[in-house]
Amino acid sequence: MIEWLGIDHLFQLSTTEVIAGFFTPLAIFAAFFLAQVILPGRRVTGYVTDENTGEPRQYRLNGLLVFVIAIIVWAFELTGMQRDWFYRSTIPAVAGGTVFAIIFALIAVLSQPKGTTKSFIAELWTGRAREFSFFNHRFDVKMYLYVVGGTMLSLNALSGAVYHHQLFGADANLGVYFYAAFFTFYVLDYFIFERVQLYTYDLIHERLGFMLIWGGLIVYGWLYILPLWGMAAHPDPGFSTTWTYVWLIGTTALFLLGWTITRGANLQKYVFKRWPDRKFLGIIEPKYIQAGDRKILYSGFWGVARHFNYMGEGFLSLSIALIFGHFGNPWAWTYFVVIVTLFTFRQRNDDELCAEKYGPEKWEEYKSKVKYRICPGIY
């Protein structure tokens, strides 16, 4: 079965390596915790309000610094760990990381007062408390999840590229290197705009249960490289020189288009939330519907579709599927399928939550102005 799936190279570990792989995520979680607490960070005021004080929550952000240091430590093998280790240890690491995520979720749920309606299993999945922060807001658990997840996504992708290079050398598939570069760029961009994350769905709505903890740490950090499970051991697709240029440049252009849409939309919403009357990029007039003391933006990216940012993520994931050059191989499409499914459901959930927050009438008014959910003219 494993051979048939083309992932037998991920099962060639000694017993000691399996044990080391299992505990690798725990070591990473501890190292990132220390790095985030010790390294300097900038204090910022967030978007969501503190349920106890009614004031906006405070955060301390240093994801970019942690990310850069982690890349240096990995690249120069400063801990003695080989650069291809993260990729080679993927299977036991996902198993171990999942076990630790269950333990963290149990702690997060059992340390909070019991909810009234849900079963314990449902609460373990979705969580009880929305926020956990420690040491006078020096360490925020939600932001920590994304610092670990984002950095590990990049490191896992880079590690897979190293593995591929060792396997194929001069005959390597350039697409695998582009893939690692795409995700490293994606994560770097995320950390440059880390403050914008404070205005997004997970920070606003989600509670800390297994879904968010496992999703942030393990799905985002380790499992998003699923295409590489099959593709890192695959040879170059063998295109002609002309077709290689078309394929690599075309796919990079698609990636950048997706990034422009998603980053543009997120940044526009962020600017609007902080300075409601400021033109985005000095040109896009903020048009909005007033709903009580809230405002629904409907110009620019937010006038094209109600979640055009998810369309950008769709293009990004399509570029990920195409970058390996093995267009018919199901492994290449795994990330695309996950992302399209995730955002189709998330858009529907957010639509319902927004109708509640803004009031059904005002949300209907917005929907009549902005008819499409994600993809203009189609969906």
- Among the listed ranges 61-69, 98-106, 296-304, 321-329, the one in contact with ligand NDP (CB under 6 A) is 296-304
The minimum distance between CB 221 and ligand NDP, in angstroms, equals: 11
The minimum distance between CB 49 and ligand NDP, in angstroms, equals: 10
> How many angstroms separate the CA atoms of 263 and 369, rounded?
23
Residue with Cβ nearer ligand NDP (140 or 236): 140
**Does residue 204 interact with ligand NDP by CB under 6 A?**
yes
**Does residue 245 interact with ligand NDP by CB under 6 A?**
no
119 phi/psi in degrees, rounded to 5: -70, 160
The minimum distance between CB 161 and ligand NDP, in angstroms, equals: 20
DSSP line for 231-258: HTTS------HHHHHHHHHHHHHHHHHH
Among positions 9, 357, 365, 376, the unique one binding ligand NDP when judged by CB under 6 A: 357
The minimum distance between CB 124 and ligand NDP, in angstroms, equals: 21
Among positions 120, 201, 245, 275, the unique one binding ligand NDP when judged by CB under 6 A: 201
Among positions 177, 301, 302, 331, the unique one binding ligand NDP when judged by CB under 6 A: 302
> How many angstroms separate the CA atoms of 88 and 301, rounded?
41
**Does residue 350 interact with ligand NDP by CB under 6 A?**
yes
**Does residue 354 interact with ligand NDP by CB under 6 A?**
yes
Q: Tokens at residue 300, please? A: 């620019």
Nearest to 313 by CA among 346, 281, 288, 286: 346
Q: Tokens at residue 286, please? A: 């903020």
The minimum distance between CB 129 and ligand NDP, in angstroms, equals: 18
The minimum distance between CB 261 and ligand NDP, in angstroms, equals: 9
Contact (CB, 8 A) for 34 and 113: no
Nearest to 130 by CA among 57, 190, 194: 57
> How many angstroms separate the CA atoms of 364 and 362, rounded?
5
The minimum distance between CB 247 and ligand NDP, in angstroms, equals: 23
- E strand spans, the chain: 42-49, 56-61, 133-134, 139-140, 288-291, 294-297
- Among the listed ranges 71-79, 90-98, 305-313, 326-334, the one in contact with ligand NDP (CB under 6 A) is 305-313
**Does residue 35 interact with ligand NDP by CB under 6 A?**
no
The minimum distance between CB 101 and ligand NDP, in angstroms, equals: 16
- Among the listed ranges 75-83, 90-98, 196-204, 229-237, the one in contact with ligand NDP (CB under 6 A) is 196-204
**Does residue 257 interact with ligand NDP by CB under 6 A?**
no
Tally of CB atoms within 10 A around 249:
10
**Does residue 289 interact with ligand NDP by CB under 6 A?**
no
Q: Which amino acid is at 109?
A: V
Instruction: Compute the C-alpha angle 216/76/192, nearest 5°.
Output: 45
> How many angstroms separate the CA atoms of 369 and 160, rounded?
45
Tally of CB atoms within 10 A around 34:
10
Among positions 254, 296, 318, 323, the unique one binding ligand NDP when judged by CB under 6 A: 296
- Among the listed ranges 90-98, 152-160, 246-254, 349-357, the one in contact with ligand NDP (CB under 6 A) is 349-357
**Does residue 222 interact with ligand NDP by CB under 6 A?**
no
Nearest to 232 by CA among 97, 331, 155, 153: 331
**Does residue 248 interact with ligand NDP by CB under 6 A?**
no
Q: Which amino acid is at 103?
A: I
Contact (CB, 8 A) for 347 and 281: no
Contact (CB, 8 A) for 33 and 151: no
Among positions 141, 208, 297, 320, the unique one binding ligand NDP when judged by CB under 6 A: 297
The minimum distance between CB 157 and ligand NDP, in angstroms, equals: 13
Residue with Cβ nearer ligand NDP (82 or 126): 126
The helix or strand, by DSSP H or E, that contains position 220, with its residue range, turns out to be: none
254 phi/psi in degrees, rounded to 5: -65, -45
Residue with Cβ nearer ligand NDP (108 or 223): 223
- Residues in contact with ligand NDP by CB under 6 A are 200-202, 204, 262, 266, 269, 296-297, 302, 307, 309-310, 313, 346, 350, 353-354, 357
